[in-house]
Amino acid sequence: MRNVLIYKVLPFLVGAIFLFSGFTAASQSMSLSSKLGSNKITLSLTKNGELHYNVTRRDKTIIADSPLGLNADDQDFTSGLSLVNVSPIAVRREKYDLKVGNVKTIDHVFDTKSITFKNRSGALMIIDLITGKEGVAFRYRFPDQDKKIRVINTESTGFHIEKNAKGWLQPYNKAGKVTPGYEDFYFKIHPGDTISNPRNPSVGWCMPALFQVNEGKNWVLLAESGTDGSYPGCHLQPDSQGGVYKIAFAEQDEKYTLPLSGNNHPAYNLPWTMPWRVIIIGEQAGDILLSSLITDLAPASKLDDTSWIEPGKATWSWWSHPEDRSPETYNSFTDLAASFGFGYTLFDAGWEKANTEKGIIAKATARGVKPMVWAYSAAYFDPEKRRMKFKELAAMGVKGVKIDFWCSDRQEVMACFQSLFEDAAKEHLLVNLHGTTVPRGWHRTWPNFMTAEAVLGTEHYFYESRYPDKAAEQNTVLPFTRNVAGPTDYTPFALTIRKYPRLNTAVHELATAMIYTSGIIHFADSKEIFDSLPVSVRQLLKDMPATWDKTESIVAEPGEQLILSRQKDHLSYIVGINGTNKVVPVNLNLAKYAKGFSKFRVIMEGENPLMTFKTETYPISSNWQYAFAPKGGFIIQFVNE
């Protein structure tokens, strides 16, 4: 649905709707408040013409006075600025459906305002402001129409976080063979802390970045939205002295796998609209987890027909058979998908030879399973070659591509993603990005973009010695950070013991498939593990959806515990995981979530918590008491039986 500019609200209209109020004295102010004034962003100019902003919620500081501005190759917009114009306040409505998310239908109303400044030479820069119940955002815009190419040397944007705040930040790894890939731990820090003990040498902090501020009364997530071919993906500088986290561009050397040239500074023709700087705000951490502000600000869907796009579940052989690329193994995972009613199977690296020998794609198609295939990013960077490959794959019966090893946030890569999504959509191909940056609202704009890695997922039972000890904690942080940015290919349900032995219970691992949102859930582990599961777990895997109509946060404590209520059509669940090494009591009023159901079935730890499950069924209770096992979990399904 396209955005529409109109002057009065009609009840039947959907999409983005703008209403303009009269030009009042209030609209001349360089501040903008959300409805009822709970979230507010205020711009200010110093006597030297330097631009700053702050953000408050109910008059309490969320982001303290922080710098704004851009320094370009031909113009300086960091000082000597003066106010030219403040637009009338407008009301913007975003109503849309997501193919994958915590909720299906989103309908949010925002206040907007645009403020125009000029520098000493008379060149114009506009800052667009937007406020809503979930937070605030701003972006830069150059309105000149002369079509010239402008280069940004530095962006002054900062986020000033109070020194007493708590933070959960991920190091932004230095460029290498498999970095940056957003596959480091989220560390608990205080504003101003230096990067300590990352997985790889690091040059900054990633976004999204989570903080608890205002003496613990508010949560805030710093993120981006709408990044396209006009700007690189950005991160935060490593030096946050005084708690000011400043924007940093992708590094010059982020081109190990791709044929990139030129420098790493943003460059684009005028007029130029840049990505949103997003500040999500909530009273509870659960407000952050459930926020759709990033997709609210992203461009509306560019696809008129999305009926062919179906979220689902996939079998995947690599995790259990990383060196086995035989047709027999690929075919056995096709059979596994069919037996569980999964819609997809993913053929990872080496699939081409197996397909030539035994026709593994045709076998999957014949069994009613949609095949997806792995690919290397460098083979899909050139537009003509990419379109040719997509046509070839679609003709073979392939329904999706997993494209790996991007390892760059450079502007050229952001541009490639947009054209890649478009080219794939023309052939009715779904897209899964690996070895990549975090999404930035792209799954709204391109609904065939189903999921992306950019997460320290279960493959790190192979690669990272610290992972087993920290995995449970990370699983209760990532839903408030990485997964807010977009669908996350965590590859859940890794039960077989690998090089670095798992410490999470089997139920915890199973629950992650329902904690993370991913348009296609790629399940790890072997056919033998799946076949050994008790009937109740097998049925859960068959029933489990890959996207949700409604989600509610019940317990939301990053790094500690997470309990979510999830609904899809007639299915209703409560899912919980423990991120700590302690036994934690749980007390829930299940009657609140059990409308239309008479009983609930709970899957919990079995006799061997690492490998087995136990299932019990009870009448609905208004006071259900349970004890989380250390690094444990539970799954409740409401039933009538």
Q: What is the pLDDT of residues 555-577, one digit of tens each?
A: 999 999 999 999 999 999 999 99
Domain membership of residue 51 (yes or no) is: yes
CATH number at residue 270: 2.70.98.10
Is 220 inside a domain boundary? yes
Tokens representing 302 are 């560019």
Residue 419 within any structural domain of the chain:
no
To the nearest whole number, what is the mean pLDDT of the chain? 95
pLDDT given at position 257: 87
Three-state helix/strand/coil letters over 194-241: CCCCCCCCEEEECCCEEEEECCCCEEEEEEEECCCCCCCCCEECCCCH
25 pLDDT above the threshold of 60: no
Tens digit of pLDDT for each residue in 144-178?
998 899 999 999 999 999 999 999 999 999 999 99
Structure tokens at 299: 């461009």
Whether residue 498 lies inside any domain: the answer is no
Q: Is position 110 within any domain?
A: yes
8 A C-beta contact, residue 314 and residue 343 = yes
Q: Identify the pLDDT of residue 261.
A: 86
- Number of domains comprising the chain: 1
Cα–Cα distance, 6 to 17 (Å, whole number): 7
- 168, part of any domain: yes
Residue 40 sits in which domain range?
A: 31-297
CB-based contact 240:66 (threshold 8 Å): no
Q: What pLDDT, in 10s, does the model give residues 87-141?
A: 999 999 999 999 999 999 999 999 999 999 999 999 999 999 999 999 999 999 9
**Cβ neighbours for 476, distance < 8 A, ≥ 6 positions apart:** 557, 558, 559, 560, 561, 562, 577, 578, 579
Q: Is the pTM of this model over 0.75?
A: yes
In a domain, 123, yes or no: yes
In a domain, 112, yes or no: yes
**In which residue are the tokens 């003709």 written?**
395
pLDDT tens sequence across 333-360: 999 999 999 999 999 999 999 999 999 9
Q: Give the distance from CA 232 to its chain's centroid.
A: 17
Cα(320)–Cα(525) distance, integer angstroms: 5
**What is the rounded distance in angstroms from the CA atom of residue 211 to the CA atom of residue 190?**
9
CA distances from 548 to 126, 569, 606 (A): 38, 8, 28
Is residue 59's pLDDT more than 70? yes
| pLDDT range class, residue 29, cuts 50, 70, 90 | confident
Residue ranges of alpha helices (H) inside 110-219 are none
